[in-house]
A and B are shown apart, each in its own frame.
Chain A
Amino acid sequence: MNHLSLRPNDEEIENTVNKYSNMLFRLCFTMLRNNQDAEDAVSDVFVKYISGNHKFSDEEHKKAWLISVATNRCRDMLKFYKIRRHLNLDDVAEYCGKDDYFEILSELLTLPEKYRTVIHLHYVEGYKTAEIAKMLDISPSAVRKRLQYGRDKLKIEYGKGVF
């Protein structure tokens, strides 16, 4: 099996940041609910990425690792860091090309953190229950329950669920 390099050089760092910063920022924004904290969290994830001897079997493995580190980082920030705990509607408005999106994002971001994270990973990033369970270090049944609760709250109409 070919492993991706252990210690990334400057070029690899640049490629990784370019490739994954948007995806990670979206996830961190969903969890932390404001721009500045999300940027800090993404930055911390990449610092973690360059400071260990991480072996990735392929890009999917690397992406899953980055997501796992990001969710852990956000959870830590939510618990004990000095961050803005309220939902910043101005930050939400910044990302709304359509008025409908403002309502959708506001509803998503009003859910408790644990529900909006699994909703994000499933519906936005397209991960299956078992994959989310592994990333978040919780049981698949817990993921299913959180998805169910989140769906009920958001009243999501879905037809191609991938459980």
Chain B
Amino acid sequence: MKEQDLKNAVENIKISENAKLRILERTKINRKEEHIMKSRKKLVPIAIAATLALGITAFAAVTHWSSGFLQKMNIDKNQMERLQNSGSTLITTPNVSDTHDGITVSTAQCLFDGNSVRMSFYVEGYELDKTIEPELEYLNILLDGKIGHNYEWNFFDGIDWTNRKNPVMADGSPVREDKDGNYIRNYRIADGKMEIDLNWSPFIDGDGRLSEEDLSGKTITVIMRNFGNKKGKWTLEWTFDNLEQGKTFTLNYALGDTGAKVKEVTLYSASCVVKYDFPKKDMETDAYDENGKLYKTTDFAEPPALVGVKLKDGTVLTDINDGGSNGYENGNLNEFISRVNFSRITDPDEIESLLFVKNQLKATLAENDCYAVKLK
């Protein structure tokens, strides 16, 4: 690959004129409303801080769960106790660690629900000022010795995004900003360790294609190399076993007049797989060339996405979709498969219906913005 080709390729990416107009409009509106936003800003974090402080105390009494992991999965105290008492293997704490040159890496938690993997690791002995972002040069995953793909990891930076519009620090205090308005982060958790959080979609291969694979009994190896100037290799290895089996529902439910039918859903505690009867259909969409000129391009249509669930106790959760993958697998162009990671742990037995979005443009969704598909 030539340097100039890379530059040319990226410079082909241009914002559309419509998007630019939307941004301009939003910026100007915010400028006019700024004085209102300022006064709200001061009030909100205090209320959240009080709520969080209670929550964290309750967790601490139970066990030492990693901070970023808890926040990512929106785990509450009742769920945690239920999981601990039931002997569930949904979340495990593999007792593996590796020490080199004064730095110890250990596994904090591993969540594998039979479909998606979330992991967190503790790092001790890597000394840095708490506001400086730690450096880990490489993190690789091997599955039975073969290279894993499609994972993202980061050091937990102390910011709690439970309330996505108004984040606070993990200890409940308000997030402070530097002179440029960027959040000041804290990469050390309460006991002075650092934490690495990782999401992995093990069922997608290196070419971005979906493939079925069972992780049961397979060995996972996580290799980390070089923390800042501390050179070395840290290796953690354990085996997935006693895996949760998904709960499959055959539904054959038509989603309004969209032409999509939900054929089958397999629910796991932290993810799900939705199979639609939705033959591949190309459609024309608008795009802009490098000169801002409108042209037509083809894309394939997608069925309504799973965005939420309604629980048997009446609770409606419309923000449960935490990414995943969509597409046609194994060359079958009649069956659209959506693999969705959940933003929280949800007991499949507690779900009454699944919510599929009718209007994807709305920022905040209510139950009546969705098709509700009852599980039978």
- Chain A residues whose CB sits within 8 angstroms of the CB of B208 once the complex forms: 86-87, 89, 110
Q: Is the CB of B3 within 8 A of A158?
A: yes
A85 / chain B contacts, CB cutoff of 8 Å: 152, 199, 322-324, 341
Using a CB-CB cutoff of 8 Å, which residues 53-84 of chain A contact chain B? 54, 65, 68-69, 72, 75-76, 78-84
Determine chain B's interface SS by DSSP, over half rule: mixed
A90-105 to B contact mask, C-beta < 8 Å, 1/0: 1001111100110011
Residue B142 interfacial (CB < 8 Å): no
Q: Is the CB of B287 within 8 A of A94?
A: yes
In the complex, the number of residue pairs spanning A and B with C-beta atoms less than 8 Å apart equals 186
Looking at the assembled complex, report how far the CB atom of B232 sits from the nearest CB atom of chain A, in whole angstroms: 14
- Which of B9-17, B51-59, B255-263 binds A? B9-17
Q: Is A39 an interface residue (CB 8 A)?
A: yes
**In contact, A39 and B23 (Cβ under 8 angstroms):** yes
Given contacts A13-B31, A21-B15, A124-B10, A137 and B133 within 8 Å (CB-CB): yes
Query: What residue in chain A is nearest B208 (Cβ atoms)?
Result: A87
Of A82, A120, A139, which one neighbours B321 at CB under 8 angstroms?
A: A82
A interface SS class: helix
Question: Is A4's CB within 8 Å of the partner chain B?
Answer: no
Complex A-B, nearest 10 residue pairs according to Cβ-Cβ distance, in ascending order: A80-B161, A85-B323, A25-B15, A101-B9, A104-B9, A46-B27, A158-B3, A124-B10, A50-B31, A26-B13
**Of the 9-residue stretches B175-183, B242-250, B268-276, which lies at the interface with chain A?**
B175-183
Q: Contact: B72 with A80, CB < 8 Å?
A: yes
**Cβ of B376 < 8 Å from any Cβ of A?**
no
| A156 touches which of B6, B183, B204, B297 (Cβ 8 Å) | B6
Of B10, B22, B37, B319, which one neighbours A105 at CB under 8 angstroms? Answer: B10
**CB pair A97 B20 closer than 8 Å:** no
Asked if A39 and B323 make an inter-chain contact with CB atoms under 8 angstroms apart, the answer reads no
Verify A120–B20 contact, CB threshold 8 A: no
Interface string of B4-41 (1 = CB under 8 A from A): 01111111111100011011101110110010010000
Count the B residues whose beta carbon is within 8 Å of the partner chain — how many? 68
Q: Is A130 an interface residue, CB under 8 A from the partner?
A: no
Residue-wise, chain B 119-153 has the 8 Å CB interface mask toward A (1 for contact) of 00000000000001101011000000000001011
Q: Which residues of B contact A25 (CB under 8 A)?
A: 13-15, 19
Chain A residue contacts of B153, Cβ below 8 A:
112
B268 CB to nearest chain A CB (Å): 17
Q: How many angstroms from the CA of A85 to the CA of B20 in the assembled complex?
A: 24
How far is the CB of A149 from the nearest CB of chain B, in Å?
A: 7
* Minimal beta-carbon separation of B99 from chain A (angstroms): 23
B152 close to A112 (CB less than 8 A) = yes
Instruction: Give min CB distance, A106 to chain B, whole Å.
Output: 8
Beta-carbon contact of A156 and B23 below 8 Å: no
B72 in contact with A50 (CB, 8 Å): no
B323 pairs with A156, CB closer than 8 A: no
Could you list 17 examples of A-B contacts with CB < 8 Å?
A14-B24, A21-B23, A25-B14, A30-B13, A46-B23, A51-B30, A68-B180, A81-B161, A85-B324, A95-B12, A96-B9, A104-B9, A112-B153, A124-B10, A137-B132, A155-B1, A156-B1
